[in-house]
């Protein structure tokens, strides 16, 4: 199946990164969000990333202009009327995603694939609100999108082999590495990553070591690029809590219970880097 035009829904950190890599691979990209100011902010992130590449001489100014020329802002879901693929990267909320997918199903052409960048919500449930569950799939990018190689591709219960293959081919064209997984809570990435982060928070909560010591152990002892508490701040503590709750509810197993300290920080509005404070303080 040939894909030329892609709509990315959500111009936040993930959506803008996805739009950037799609534009860099030569696709025509619509970057959609609810308001023009959100789209502008997303385009600003892309501009900053590309300018950094130019200043490091990893890209020429002409190449940067070429990438930008593939991007068109959008604040209307009806713009999906002639796209071949939608990649949804809106907030992690089932109600909102269901609404978006149900609208998209009536707007996008019959051949279009509807993908979600959800980090843990069930693809099968998202697909069920559409009349094309066989064309719904998970395309889970990692943060920061322009740097991280992995795209976890999640097959919903009804996803066809043809749709899977198309998404795998596109992922390779984005210069990323596709890994196929089935649709269970947290998929593979967050089923393994989040309990580790949650355990690091328990280790802090129980006074086993300071936050700096916990991060240092995992960085120097396990060669992780960031310690788990720094990484939690980077991902967002609200997202970490949401994923732990999805695992806890989805498996019904107490081993996934979110640490009370994580809940407390989220209730306090200490969400990590994005709010200037999480386990660490950011200027």
Active site residues: 119, 140, 152, 190
Site for ligand CAA, residues 16 to 35, rule: CB under 6 A:
none
Minimum distance of ligand CAA from residue 113's CB (angstroms): 21
Minimum distance of ligand CAA from residue 273's CB (angstroms): 10
Site for ligand CAA, residues 112 to 131, rule: CB under 6 A:
119
- The smaller minimum CB distance to ligand CAA, of residues 77 and 240, is found at 240
Answer for which of 15, 42, 122, 146 binds ligand CAA (CB under 6 A) is: 146
Answer for which of 35, 52, 255, 264 binds ligand CAA (CB under 6 A) is: 52
Q: Does 172 bind ligand CAA (CB under 6 A)?
A: no
Q: Which stretch binds ligand CAA (CB under 6 A): 79-87, 94-102, 146-154, 266-274?
A: 146-154
Judge contact between 89 and 9, C-beta under 8 A: yes
String marking each residue 220-239 x if it binds ligand CAA according to CB under 6 A: -----xx----x---x---x
Answer for which of 32, 130, 190, 198 binds ligand CAA (CB under 6 A) is: 190
Minimum distance of ligand CAA from residue 144's CB (angstroms): 3
Site for ligand CAA, residues 56 to 75, rule: CB under 6 A:
56, 58
Residues forming contacts to ligand CAA in the complex (CB under 6 A) are: 49, 52, 56, 58, 119, 142-144, 146-148, 189-190, 193, 225-226, 231, 235, 239
């Amino acid at each position: 199946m040939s894909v030329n035009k892609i709509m990315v829904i959500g111009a936040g950190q993930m959506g803008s990164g996805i739009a950037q890599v799609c534009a860099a691979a030569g696709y025509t990209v619509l970057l959609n969000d609810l308001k023009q100011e959100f789209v502008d902010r997303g385009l600003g992130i892309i501009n900053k990333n590309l300018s950094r590449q130019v200043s490091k001489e990893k890209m020429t100014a002409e190449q940067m202009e070429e990438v930008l020329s593939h991007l068109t802002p959008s604040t209307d879901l009806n713009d999906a009327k002639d796209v071949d693929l939608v990649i949804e990267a809106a907030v992690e909320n089932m109600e909102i995603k269901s609404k978006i997918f149900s609208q998209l199903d009536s707007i996008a052409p019959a051949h279009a694939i509807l993908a979600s960048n959800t980090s843990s919500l069930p693809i099968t449930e998202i697909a069920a609100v559409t009349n094309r569950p066989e064309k719904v799939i998970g395309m889970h990018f990692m943060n920061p999108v322009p740097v991280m190689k992995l795209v976890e591709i999640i097959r919903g219960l009804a996803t066809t082999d043809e749709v899977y293959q198309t998404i795998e081919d596109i992922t390779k064209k984005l210069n990323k590495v596709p890994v196929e997984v089935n649709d269970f809570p947290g998929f593979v990435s967050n089923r393994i990553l989040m309990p580790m982060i949650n355990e690091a928070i328990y280790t802090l909560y129980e006074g086993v070591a300071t936050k700096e010591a916990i991060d240092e152990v995992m960085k120097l002892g396990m060669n992780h690029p960031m310690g788990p508490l720094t990484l939690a701040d980077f991902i967002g503590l609200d997202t970490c809590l949401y994923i732990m709750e999805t695992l806890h509810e989805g498996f019904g197993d107490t081993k996934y219970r979110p640490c009370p300290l994580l809940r407390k920080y989220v209730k306090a509005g200490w969400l990590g880097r994005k709010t200037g404070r999480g386990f660490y303080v950011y200027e």
